[in-house]
Amino acid sequence: MLSTLRNAWKVPDLRKKLLWTVLFVAIYRMGSHIPVPGIDTEYLKTLTESGNNLWSFYDLMSGGALSRFSILALGVVPYINSSIIMQLLTIAIPPLEQLSKEGEEGRKKIQNITRYASILFGVITAYGTYVLMYNQGGIRESGFAFIYLIILTLTVGSAFCMWLGDQITVKGIGNGISLIIFINIVSRIPNTIASIAALKNMDQVDIIQIALFAVFVVLLLAVVIYLSLAERRVTVQYASKAVGNRVAKGQSTHIPLSLIGSAVIAIIFAMSVMQFPKTIAQLFPDKDWAKWITGSTYSVFNEKTWMYPVIYAVLTIFFTWFYTQITFKPDEMAENMNKSAGFIPGIRPGKPTEKYLENILTKVSIFGGIFAAILAITPIIIENNTQFKGISFGGTSLLILVGVALDVMRTLESQLVVRHYQGFLK
């Protein structure tokens, strides 16, 4: 990996891309420390201090900007939500599905719709954040001008983050939005280390427990890297074709199916479902039903109960399977293979091929879902059964870090191969 970066730095074009990337990331990090006036940030810190709620996850994705309530507090979260919903609508709404099949122009139109939708999500998220904090005493101002200022500031900040991500994609290295999330998660690692050190200073954990925790994280990281690189390959053979007086030999290729490609989105879906009732309950803290949702030992939305991680895991597995099925579309894959004279050895074209692909996707998605569920509930189990509490850095973070790092390395490697350099990936 280091040799890849070193070789990339020697190439003027790649060095320029790397410098642009560093510049845009630096601008983002500086903006994430500019606070919005009139906010009690101490309340936000208590809201995000637990590592197992949606606010904590959003704070992690924003690199701590949410807990500081900076002008970039929403980060790229509205854009991510907009992208996920647009992917689902593209499958559910025929005009959008047709638009997605119109090549580069169609994809550009969908991308523009996604950007506009992210502005709408930014407004909704900004207003929801204001209402929640006002009801909890984190904000004391209630005038229209102040509310307008909060919504405008957070929405413009979110749009600016989206613009920075696009600039990194165009002028820098890798996917800009993913790289911003990567940097944000990395920026929280010192906070995680500081939290563990504070636990040690208060004699809540000893050096042996810290060492065991570190070993566990390293092992989990190794497993995440291994499964991120793993894929199920479906062999596809293409029939021979007559070209003039010669017969061109059929080519053999494969369809790569990632084992945990849908894991991150599935975890976000499951987390949103489990945290949504609790978030609504926080808007009405004095209501009996709200107190039951957030504090009852019989509430499935209470993270302290055994039911919460079980249902969370089941939802993660389901969403992994569901998202994999709607993303890969076995019927379209089988149809495209048939049109291009391709076939899977030993499987008849048409419906048998579709059924075969469905079976493979189901097995892959269930396996990936089980692993994603383990990653999702591991921080909850650790917090409920050990002294390592309030640690926001968990399995989902590792999954995102590894995925983005591998994507950047592959991008650099492809650029180096074009320029006849030997890179990291063989």
> Region 124-132: what's the mean pLDDT?
84
Residue 158's pLDDT is 92
pLDDT digits (tens, 9 = 90+) for 83-99: 888 888 887 788 888 88
Q: Say how far apart CA 292 and CA 299 lie, in whole Å.
A: 7
Contact 207, 200 (CB under 8 A): yes
Give all strands of the β-sheet with 252-258 in edge-to-edge order: 252-258, 231-238, 342-343
> Region 205-214: what's the mean pLDDT?
86
CA neighbor of 53 nearest in space, from 274, 374, 351, 287: 274
Output the CA torsion 347→348→354→358 (10° steps). Answer: -20
Percent of the chain exceeding pLDDT 70 equals: 89
pLDDT digits (tens, 9 = 90+) for 392-424: 666 778 888 888 888 888 888 877 777 654 444
Report helix angle 12-31 to 176-187, nearest 10: 60
Q: How far is CA 13 from CA 7, 260, 408, in A?
A: 12, 33, 16
**Residues 6 or more apart in contact with residue 255 via CB below 8 angstroms:** 233, 234, 236, 333
> Region 358-380: what's the mean pLDDT?
88
* Least confident interval from 198-212, 272-286, 313-327, 342-356: 272-286
Helix (H) / strand (E) containing 238: strand 231-238
Domains of the chain with bracketed CATH = 1-188 (1.10.3370.10), 230-391 (1.10.3370.10)
Q: Is the model's pLDDT at 390 over the cut of 70?
A: no
> Region 264-290: what's the mean pLDDT?
79
Residue 377's pLDDT is 86
Contact 303, 52 (CB under 8 A): yes
pTM: 0.81
pLDDT digits (tens, 9 = 90+) for 45-77: 666 665 556 677 777 778 888 888 888 888 888
Contact 256, 229 (CB under 8 A): no
